Amino acid sequence: NFSRVTEFILLGLSNTRELQVLFFTFFFLAYVMVLLGNLLIIVTVRSDPKLSSPMYFLLCNLSFIDICCTSVTSPRMLVDLLFQRKAIAFEDCIAQLFFLHFVGASEMFLLTVMAYDRYIAICKPLHYTAIMSRQVCWVLVSACWAGGFLHSIVQTLLTIQLPFCGPNTIDNYFCDVPPVIRLACTDIYVTEWLMASNSGLISLVCFLVLVTSYLFILVTIRVRFTEGHWKALSTCASHAMVVTLFFVPCIFIYFRPFSTFPSDKHICVIYTVFSPVMNPLIYTLRNNEVKASMWKL
């Protein structure tokens, strides 16, 4: 009710026409790779009965979340790269913010669950089927989506209660909490710390849980020098690459006051574009079972 701003202007990644054409080509190819790669993983896992273990069930869900995550920002960015004036309606901006944090937080929780799955498989192999049953997997995945929804609702409600009455230029290529709340016509000190403690703590806690689980796995592998455990180490190393690409930029952006730092739009590219592109490559090219099933398909 207090808002007089009807639209925001996105500055994008660059104002240079040649760079915009270059960015459009690169990000269009990246978006196509994300869609095709993750859809191929989903179809492969769903069509091959051999890929029915909890690890592949979670991988299938990760692929779906990656498609949703990149589809929140990439299509709008590609369209804006073709036009000089990059305007987005206030309602569309809030919707983009909501869905970005919804799927983003859900992916954080899911990556944590996947690390827990690898920990149980390697450190407690005899109890794996009992602990990670199909019912438990569904509960964990549902909890990931529920946690992402609650996180996104909090971020969105804290944003829309702010009055926007003047500046409407966002120095980014999509609507996110830090650049949007900087435009509010009020003191946002309390709000930004609430948001930073929400997003930042979720990113940091999930990252620490992931690191802890991998440390336990490394300790277990060091004690048991078997071929199967070295294969597990290779799998965990690839997972760690995804975790680093996704979590480190998120912690850097959200775990600090928003108003005292400049725009981080180039860092945002890492977790909105590069991470979804790398996921299907890392989780398939380093997994012989998935590659074999893809060739059969």
Q: Is 1 part of a structural domain of the chain?
A: no
Is pLDDT at 225 greater than 80 in this prediction? Answer: no
β 169-170/7-10 pair status: parallel
Q: Is 122 part of a structural domain of the chain?
A: yes
Which CATH number goes with the domain that contains 162? 1.20.1070.10
Distance CA 264, CA 273 (A): 14
Q: Which domain holds residue 64?
A: 7-295
Q: Is 195 part of a structural domain of the chain?
A: yes
Answer yes or no: are the C-beta atoms of 67 and 38 closer than 8 Å.
yes
34-46 confidence digits (pLDDT tens):
999 899 889 988 8
172-184 confidence digits (pLDDT tens):
888 988 888 888 8
Q: Is 2 part of a structural domain of the chain?
A: no
21-33 confidence digits (pLDDT tens):
898 999 999 999 9
Q: What is this structure's pTM?
A: 0.89
φ and ψ of 128, to 5 deg: -60, -50
For the chain, the domain total comes to 1
Residues, the chain, total?
Answer: 297
Q: Is 217 part of a structural domain of the chain?
A: yes
Tokens of 133: 């049953």
Answer yes or no: are the C-beta atoms of 198 and 34 closer than 8 Å.
no
